[in-house]
Amino acid sequence: MARGNRTGGSGADADGPRGRVERGRDKLATGLLVGAVGVFMAAGISACNTNPHAADVPPPSTVEQQPAANGKTPNTESSAHHSAPKPGIELPNTIQVFYATTPAFQDLTHHIVLWNATQAYKAMYAASYQPAEAGTPDLKRYWTGTGYQQAHSWAQAWIAAKQQPVGFSVLSNVVVENLTPEQATVGFCEDLSGVVRGNVQTHTPGKALQPKDSLGDRIEYSMVPTGVKGQWQVNGESIAKSSPLCPAPSDKRHRSSTH
């Protein structure tokens, strides 16, 4: 009886050593291709959902990590892979916040209050990127009372509309006023001409939140200490629309403040 040819297209015995090696190579190549696609997709998702800019206002020394009481340096290996800080305020996804001019610190308490105000602003924008509920841990950490209700409602409205603020906000004329151990007021101008309404479902930009070359809004935070050293919260927010105190920064100013 004639026996069928068991060789592949290359003439090698499919069950022989060479055939087994070639099958192994094929499996390895397939595995590498799948792995490469997975890495590419992960890199793409990461690039879309992160903003590399670190906080423009550095944390005050009272909230920085200090050496342990025994004199040993705390273990920081888990954060060693993070990149070096860059100008700008870190926020998730496609929203960025910049200072037209970085505020100067008058003293430690001034620095602490301003840093917490910055974190509160960031937390409000970050909350608007949640899929369903705006009540994030950071929103609860930096906002309280009526202020929390205002920030939560603002972020929740974005979520309900299936929209997200996309672009960059520029803060200017930042002042810390009425600063006492019990309360403080932080005021600043907010230029939103670089922010548009992004559609969550179609990923397309919509109308800008502020016409270009128009007056910005004047924001005031009332803030109170929490009793924890270095921690203040916003307990109220007032907004003066199109304030004469807030002329629109130039495009040149925008570019110079981003790097």
In the chain (259 residues long), the average pLDDT of successive 10-residue segments reads 35 42 44 35 30 56 48 40 46 78 88 95 94 96 98 98 93 94 96 93 91 95 94 97 86 39
Is 68 within a domain? no
Report how many domains make up the chain.
2
Query: Do 123 and 230 fall into the same domain?
Result: yes
Residue whose entry in the numeric block shows the structure tokens 């009372």: 145
Measure the CA angle with vertex 138, ends 136 and 144; round to 5°: 95
What pLDDT score does 185 carry?
A: 98
Query: Do 92 and 47 fall into the same domain?
Result: no
pTM of the complete model: 0.67
Domain that holds residue 42: 24-52
What pLDDT score does 12 carry?
A: 39
Residue 86, Cβ neighbours under 10 Å: how many?
A: 13
Query: Do 166 and 250 fall into the same domain?
Result: yes
Cβ 218 vs Cβ 243: under 8 Å: yes
What pLDDT score does 229 carry?
A: 86
Contacts of 183 (CB under 8 A, 6+ apart): 222, 223, 224
Q: How far apart are CA 189 and CA 247, in angstroms?
A: 9
What pLDDT score does 90 carry?
A: 52
